[in-house]
Structure 1
Amino acid sequence: MSKHDAFADVGKTAVLQNIQGTMHFLLRYAPFNQMELGHLAQMVEQCRLRFYAAGDPVVGPGDGKIEHVYIVKQGLVLGQRPALSGDAMETTQEIAPGECFPVAAMVSERATRSHYIAAEDTFCLQLSRAAFTHTYNQSEAFRDFALRGVSSLMGQVQQQAQLQAAETLGAQYSLETQLNILVAANPVTCRSGVSLRDAVRLMHEHHVGSLVMIDDNGYPIGIFTLRDLRRVIADGSGDLQQPLDELMTRDPIHLPPTATAFDAAMIMTRRQIAHICVVEKGRLIGVLSERDLFSLQRVDLVQLARTISAAPRLDTLVELREQIAHQIDNMLAHGANPEQLTNILTLLNDHTVARVIELMIEEHGDPGVPFTWLVFGSEGRREQTLLTDQDNGMLFEAASIEEAERIRQRLLPLARQINEALDRCGFALCNGNIMASNPELCLSRQEWLRRFGAMIQSPTRDNLMHSSIYFDLRPVWGPGEGCRQLQEALLQMIEGNELFQHMMAANALRHPPPIGRFRDFIVASRGAEKNTLDLKVEGLMPFVEGVRILALAHGIDECNTLERLRLLGERGVLKAQDAAAYAEAYHFIQLTRMQLHQRQERDGLPLSNRLDPDTLNELDRRILRESFRQAQRLQNSLSVRYQL
């Protein structure tokens, strides 16, 4: 072998080792770990390694249409843009090893809008436009990432969480399954005028638990179930010749075939019904029973909700509450996302609260006064997790101050009984005494209006803090009309008060997201909380409080944060893409928080919102950091909007 050939072989070996080393590096990060190895290898072959000293520009708006995409291999790159409030530059991105830039500009074939600068000595893999295009066309995983950015990785995180839960539960089906897949064809039906005898015979012959009455067009006008039959027999109110029209449930709940198993689960749980009709183009095409849904899915939400609502004693409720953590594991294994999980938790919590109120009235006597049980804060927003305390109050109608005081004195003993019973059920007593047993929170509608008006007219620190709790409210038990009128009046008062809006926006900035200037999270430095951050206060609250003020200022009466974001995007208060980015970031922080609670619950630890970010894998750390960055963007936009 000649010396030239020997050097050539050494060179080929070095190149091969370099390619293998680079692939090994990239396979630690998404989306590269989702790519086919052949596609990744071809991409790596086209990469060049570039070095940038600290402070060196990598690429910027003045460089024209983007010709290269960069992947940080070692070091840190900052993405910076002119601050909205002046000429200074603000960091909008921190790009760590395994992350790419500027992908969106490459896809759009334009110049980047950001200045990318090395924050420290940095090595980047440089991918040319031709190589990027080739990889984009070859790899679906890479193309999805190029089009959707970090948000495309959320599905991977959700899938990991689902698989972890499924390992324990052995689940095989997803709550995203459409009803047209779950329902059997040819539902058993009848027409108006059929007798009870014939209806029961039909159900027996076809081995079904329900019979749907349809009109001449095939539309469901009523449903009769085995539960209805038991009621008729128990009441002794029907004979076998009686027309089914007089015994059935009219106008049964129905969903389209494109609805999901989760949609059906929520309706069954909320209404405590066992059957849902599936209707397409005005015709009945199937009937979904709770047995079809939950024996298949191994999720017994309807049964749990029904048992909670019928619990004969408080001790029974306490025992039932212990099943909820297991249900969350179940739902996660079946593909439920954080929004669905918090909706489920809130729904089960609502059933518990309602039953506690009923049990306390049965045990201690009816006060003889109509009242509405209000919930505030996370429960008011339908955003509860396993860790929750009480934020509640009472609303009633009174014609005068004297009558209000008389009613209050009748209701307060019951309120104390309810608060104490809820504490036994796992809803911790509020340290700030934001509970209905507090005379200041057991008020007539006019008193609530005066209290809310005082908060808005005098936005002191305490009033701002209280408004951030009380202005997310909804009724859980009792008449809902008074609460609706209260919310309408609240929106009218806020809409015309620019000073209060300004002060509330400033209040929304008091919890900055826990991200440092360079890469690291900001964590507690001492005490029992050392090396941890608070996912609720520092992660979720910047979104909750920022979105709340925008919603209230623009007359949106919805309390749920994600629904507020959707409506703000639809109405143009926020750019649609910003609203979507904020929603995805909020989703991820909430998912991380719920997974933390699940681990704590399984390990027998007290529930806490404090997380050590070093316990996260690289993908979760990356998306959590980006999610906090979105919270920072929202706070920056509030600062500019309200000139703070």
Structure 2
Amino acid sequence: MSEIQARAAAPDTASDQVPLRALARSRPVVVAPASTVRATLQRIAEAGGDVAIVADPTSGLPLGLIRLPEMLSLIDESGGLDGPVAAAMLGAPLTIAADAPAHRARVMMAKRGVAHVLLTEPDGRLFGLVGQADLLGPRVAGAEALIGAINAARDLAAMTAAADAVRRRAAELLRSGMAVEPLCQWLSGLNDLIGMRTIELIEDEYDLPPVPWCWMVFGSEGRMEQTFATDQDNGLLFVPSAPERTEEVRQAFLPFARAVNEALHHCGFERCRGGIMAGNAACCLSAEEWQGRFAAWLRVPQPQALLNGTIFFDFRPLYGNDEPVDRLRAWLAAEAPGHDRFFRALAEQALAVAPPLGWGGRLRSDRNREHPRTIDLKVRGARLFTDAARLWALREGVWATGTADRLRAVAAARRWGGADTAAEIEAFHLVQRFRFERQLQTRDPEAANRVAPSALNELRRMMLKEALRQARRLQLRLRQEHGL
């Protein structure tokens, strides 16, 4: 089942990963370039809207966008209603693939400062239109000034200041009681803008190869689940003009990618300890090489390779030409479901980490020497949900990368009970809230995800226990599926 089909049951969700196609509620007004302002105004009035799309009448390709303010301006200048509407249209309107996730449109609209985005089919033909009324974008909770500061940044110092302001505001929202899922969506949208603007600033300093390329993000950033203590997980995909030029193109991109990694580190996104960064040659690959890497994991699922590589399966495009990345995702969604050995290896890996619950459901702390009597809620909490959701999503060919969205899409595809899925998602978000709160209490990166059960009051211990019981039930289902 496709992601669109899987999400069709809940098109009203505010999820960041619902396909845009599901949000295009009605057919927009479409007019030819030669249409008069009078005729266009009449059609907009009949439709009850405030915007029309100007498209080529033969090919159906969108040419521009015309809104009521532009038409009124045209009337004032020309003194009549019979001029061509093309004279006032906004040329080269913002377009995006109809099957792209809502998050991508939200970020693009915030960055460009536009109110509408056109949705297109793979062949470029118009599908529809979505606006800010359809998208609950990051322009909420005091984000307007933050977006302005990010977009206006002209150097790394300004970019760093903007990133710090975003984290401070996110902390305020958490303390005020904002739910974890919308907070992650809000923070991810602004972090994406920070990353995009940082790449733009660095890109201006380099003469990059004239080939399609895209900056990709993995792990928590790819899942749009970044917390306050997060490091970089990114890569670069490029499409060389010929296979024999792959290494030449890679070497041309690497200095630029390393500079971006350093700039992001300066902005508060720590370098990845495992080296999963675009400035590493192993993460700066051609589209063919990326596909080959995923194919190798699917065909020969070596345990250690999978352990190091699972976060790559959370990839999504951030900056550049997203079409090659979308093609890679489409290939993976179609190819992965048939590889049973791969899924058994993923299940074994996921089940290797058990919920920290002992006899009688008591919370069981880690045996960590530096931080005794604590639980790592990233490794032994959130990961229990993300690993299972990733496996099921790949098995069902689901495009979504976020844990909650994956669980929803898989539940729809497999007709699982809605109440059980809702409980799993609620448990995951509760674990995430514990992590957020802990990260605001310490500057020690080694303790950022560690919670001491003894420091929790009775109610919070009970809540954490129930969340981990949900993880145990989720793992039991995974164990039964694979006979483990």
The counterpart of 1:631, out of the listed 456, 471, 482, is: 471
**Contact (CA 8 Å) 1:305, 1:348: kept in 2 or not?**
yes
**Contact (CA 8 Å) 1:568, 1:579: kept in 2 or not?**
no
The counterpart of 2:311, out of the listed 441, 463, 469, is: 469
**Contact (CA 8 Å) 2:111, 2:151: kept in 1 or not?**
no
SS of 1:527 mapped into structure 2 = coil
**Contact (CA 8 Å) 1:372, 1:478: kept in 2 or not?**
yes
Alignment RMSD: 3.6
Alignment correspondent of 1:327: 169
Q: CA deviation at 1:573?
A: 5.6
AA partner of residue 509 (structure 1): L
Q: CA deviation at 1:457?
A: 1.3
The counterpart of 1:503, out of the listed 339, 345, 349, is: 345
Once the two structures are overlaid, the 10-residue window that deviates more, 501-510 or 605-614, is 605-614
Within 2, Cα distance between the matches of 1:354 and 1:267? 10
Within 1, Cα distance between the matches of 2:284 and 2:162? 29
Q: CA deviation at 1:493?
A: 2.8
Q: How many residues align?
A: 404
Alignment correspondent of 1:616: 456
User: 1:340–1:631: structure 2 CA closer, same or farther, 3 Å change rule?
Assistant: same
Alignment correspondent of 1:517: 359
AA partner of residue 522 (structure 1): R
1:328-377 CA distance string (max 9 Å, x none): 13434665311111111111111111111111111233443331001111
**5+ residue gaps, structure 2:** 1-35, 52-65, 95-102, 118-131
1:163-199 CA distance string (max 9 Å, x none): xxxxxxxxxxxxxxxxxxxxxxxxxxxxx859xxxxx
Q: CA deviation at 1:249?
A: 5.5
AA partner of residue 622 (structure 1): M
Within 2, Cα distance between the matches of 1:610 and 1:215? 58
Within 2, Cα distance between the matches of 1:334 and 1:506? 40
For normalisation by structure 2, the TM-score amounts to 0.75
Alignment correspondent of 1:458: 300
**Contact (CA 8 Å) 1:220, 1:252: kept in 2 or not?**
no
User: 1:275–1:393: structure 2 CA closer, same or farther, 3 Å change rule?
Assistant: closer
User: 1:320–1:333: structure 2 CA closer, same or farther, 3 Å change rule?
Assistant: same
**Contact (CA 8 Å) 1:325, 1:386: kept in 2 or not?**
yes
SS of 2:236 mapped into structure 1 = strand
**Contact (CA 8 Å) 1:516, 1:522: kept in 2 or not?**
yes
Within 2, Cα distance between the matches of 1:308 and 1:238? 36
Q: CA deviation at 1:491?
A: 2.5
1:344 aligned onto 2:191? no
The counterpart of 1:374, out of the listed 171, 192, 216, is: 216
Whichever of the two has the greater Rg, that structure is: 1
Q: CA deviation at 1:526?
A: 4.9
Identity value in percent = 35
For normalisation by structure 1, the TM-score amounts to 0.57
Once the two structures are overlaid, the 10-residue window that deviates more, 266-275 or 445-454, is 266-275
**5+ residue gaps, structure 1:** 1-191, 195-212, 254-262, 278-286
Alignment correspondent of 1:215: 45
Q: CA deviation at 1:273?
A: 3.4
**Contact (CA 8 Å) 1:308, 1:320: kept in 2 or not?**
yes
Q: CA deviation at 1:518?
A: 2.4
1:561-614 CA distance string (max 9 Å, x none): 1111111111226433321211111111112211222334xxx66571111122
**Contact (CA 8 Å) 1:269, 1:301: kept in 2 or not?**
no
Within 2, Cα distance between the matches of 1:354 and 1:238? 38
**Contact (CA 8 Å) 1:513, 1:542: kept in 2 or not?**
yes
RCO higher in 1 or 2 (8 Å CA, sep ≥ 6)? 2
1:577 aligned onto 2:419? yes
1:417-451 CA distance string (max 9 Å, x none): 11111110111111111111111111111111111
**Contact (CA 8 Å) 1:364, 1:414: kept in 2 or not?**
yes
1:29-84 CA distance string (max 9 Å, x none): xxxxxxxxxxxxxxxxxxxxxxxxxxxxxxxxxxxxxxxxxxxxxxxxxxxxxxxx
Q: CA deviation at 1:519?
A: 4.1
SS of 1:219 mapped into structure 2 = coil
Within 2, Cα distance between the matches of 1:399 and 1:249? 33
Within 2, Cα distance between the matches of 1:238 and 1:581? 56
Q: CA deviation at 1:540?
A: 0.5
Alignment correspondent of 1:445: 287
SS of 2:422 mapped into structure 1 = helix
Alignment correspondent of 2:147: 305
1:566 aligned onto 2:408? yes
Q: CA deviation at 1:495?
A: 1.1
1:85-116 CA distance string (max 9 Å, x none): xxxxxxxxxxxxxxxxxxxxxxxxxxxxxxxx
**Contact (CA 8 Å) 1:514, 1:521: kept in 2 or not?**
yes
SS of 1:508 mapped into structure 2 = helix
Within 1, Cα distance between the matches of 2:255 and 2:279? 7
AA partner of residue 382 (structure 2): L
Within 2, Cα distance between the matches of 1:267 and 1:492? 27
Alignment correspondent of 2:250: 408
